[in-house]
Amino acid sequence: MYKVLLIDDEPIIREGMKHVISWEDYGFTISGDGENARDGLQLIDATKPDLIFVDIRMPGTSGMEFIKQAKQAGCDAKFVILSGYSSFNYARESIKLGIHSYLLKPIDEQELIEILVEIRAVIADERKVSSQLTAYHDLSEEEAWKALIEGRIEHENNFPNIGRYQGPFQIACFSFNRSKDGLALKQQLATTDYAFKKLIIKDSMMYLFFNKQLEQEIEGEINQLFHVCKRQFNSKLSVYLSAQYQTLLQTPAAVRQIKDLQDRSYSFSTDQLFKYPLKAKETVPAFDGELIGAKMIQALEFKDYQALEQQATLIIEYFQGCALEKARVQAEMIEFVLSILQRIKKQYPELDLPNKNEWLAIIYHSNNLEALINRLLKEWWTVTKQIEGFVVTPENNIGKITMYIDQYYYQELSLKRLADLFNYNSSYLGKKFKKHTGEYFHVYLERIRIEKAKQILSDKPYKVYKVSELVGYSNMDYFYKKFKKYVGMSPKEYQKKAQEQHT
């Protein structure tokens, strides 16, 4: 219960206030009453009240003067002025003295209750803060550092055991997959001489506080510890380094930088150092999800895992270049994965695929983007076992076949192999191919190969035999003959001319 004093020169007012409400119902008890300022000051010493009701006009010392004297004597109670009439000047003076409320006589029961409820909340909050501040002075050094990390210390005077440290500071944070590895490392480092000033374990994070160290020295020590962790614990971990800051009060901001790095590092693999700020690259290739998705489905149809991985690499490079937060990456990957799922279902309605919720679980339960992509590739690759040949329709049949030739021109392609892949009779496919493209299969293939050869000769300083192999000709003389027939000059002459034009 909070203790209350009643100071008023009218006994009937004091008695009336004692019984106007049930004080205990609101967390208060009357600890004493007096008729003048002298009584009030004596009662303050004797009872240490939390709340004092005082008449504004009393014989001798006024209520205002009494409050001044009480405060000068160290009284931290809340004061409520009692007055028989309203006065703006009194109200203004009350504000100057830090008086909580101004209550008119006769006392209104409901108004008094509202004031008590309000004051009780204020006193409770102040005592909670006071209790916390008092507790900080009893903290051990390690507890004080933990309080800093958690943002529980808000004033420089609350650094009982660590205030001796002066900036600049930096925080490095090791994030372990297994918290026991961090604890084991802490025990080991306790007997070793390192530059960091303090090591704190919180959850699966190990915070290292560096004081007045060059960033180059800090990174050198981090790399050292990194190798120790890998050698002894074989644990996957990431390390985050805040920007430099000057005062201990800025520590919570540095911890927020660590959390931002941890969030944005989702697109990167573990086992590396991330320094704040982790910014996006100046130029990032656009993420054409529709095109990448189409190529991935094509790779599944053609059972080409290497092509599937190439598209996955583009996805990872895009998100790493953007350095997006984890939630943003997950949101974009959800949209991308569900679009692929929709397209596969449309082309292959008979396939047995994971449902939407299963795909979402894969995305949300992956530790990082690399792990997510690997899991997706595994799931997508199982789809190839269910695809027998390719879905061809009157609208896309030859288009899919020419697409296959354009992508795999360097392989040993034949009309028979394409007929087997696409479930055609080879003779029928040959006629159909000529009708739709205007070229025989072997002519179309040769043209594609020569065009690819021209592109390589223009871009790369490769020998002719190397170019011949890259476009699917094992016999260099045959390649030479075909190239000259289509282009009107030898491969070497074409390469020389292209280089001269480039120069």
Which H/E stretch holds residue 54? strand 51-55
Query: Is there a contact between 334 and 362 (Cβ–Cβ < 8 Å)?
Result: no
| Chain segment 431-444, per-residue pLDDT in tens | 888 888 899 999 99
Structure confidence at residue 154 (pLDDT): 64
Distance CA 236, CA 232 (A): 12
Phi and psi angles of residue 81, each rounded to the nearest 5 degrees, phi first: -80, 135
CATH 2.40.50.140 fits 2-133, yes or no: no
Give the distance from CA 381 to its chain's centroid: 30
Phi and psi angles of residue 130, each rounded to the nearest 5 degrees, phi first: -60, -40
Strands 273-275 and 237-241: parallel
ω into 168 cis (within 30 of 0): yes
Quick one: 391 exposed, middle or buried, by C-beta within 10 A (0-12, 13-18, 19+)? middle
**Could you write out the DSSP letters of every residue in 442-490?**
HHHHHHHHHHHHHHHHHH----HHHHHHHTT-S-HHHHHHHHHHHHSS-
Q: Would you call 101 helix, strand, or coil by DSSP? A: strand
Residue with tokens 């440290």: 165
Token pair, residue 279, equals 């910014």
Could you tell me the residue ranges of all domains in the chain?
2-133, 143-275, 289-384, 397-502
Structure confidence at residue 138 (pLDDT): 47
Distance CA 497, CA 503 (A): 10
Q: Enter the DSSP assignment of 6.
A: E
Structure confidence at residue 349 (pLDDT): 80
For 51, residues 6+ apart whose C-beta sits below 8 A from its C-beta are 2, 3, 4, 5, 28, 77, 78, 79, 80, 116, 119, 123
Distances in whole angstroms, Cα of residue 169 to Cα of each of 172, 173, 220: 10, 13, 16
For 251, residues 6+ apart whose C-beta sits below 8 A from its C-beta are 148, 149, 169, 171, 245
Per-residue pLDDT of the chain (503 residues; tens, 9 = 90+): 899 999 999 998 899 999 999 999 999 999 999 999 999 999 999 999 999 999 988 888 888 889 989 988 888 899 998 887 655 455 545 554 567 777 888 888 998 999 999 999 988 888 776 655 554 544 567 777 888 888 876 665 556 566 677 889 999 998 876 667 667 777 767 666 777 788 888 877 889 999 888 888 999 988 888 888 777 766 677 899 999 999 888 899 999 999 999 999 999 987 889 999 998 888 887 788 888 887 888 788 778 888 899 999 999 999 999 999 999 999 999 999 999 988 888 777 888 888 889 999 999 999 899 999 999 999 999 888 887 655 555 555 688 788 888 878 888 888 888 887 676 788 888 888 888 889 999 999 999 999 999 999 998 889 999 999 999 998 999 999 999 999 999 999 999 988 888 76
Query: Is there a contact between 78 and 125 (Cβ–Cβ < 8 Å)?
Result: no
Task: Return the exposure string of 431-442: e unless at least 16 CB atoms fall within 10 Å of the residue's CB, then b.
Answer: eebeeeeeeebe
Regarding pTM above 0.75, the answer is: no
Structure confidence at residue 182 (pLDDT): 67
Structure confidence at residue 125 (pLDDT): 83
Token pair, residue 424, equals 């055609």
Report domain 143-275's class. alpha beta
Structure confidence at residue 88 (pLDDT): 43
CATH 1.10.490.10 fits 397-502, yes or no: no
Q: How many other C-beta atoms are found inside a 10 Å radius of the C-beta of residue 175? A: 20
For 60, residues 6+ apart whose C-beta sits below 8 A from its C-beta are 36, 37, 38
Distance CA 108, CA 82 (A): 12
Structure confidence at residue 97 (pLDDT): 56
Residue with tokens 């003067």: 65
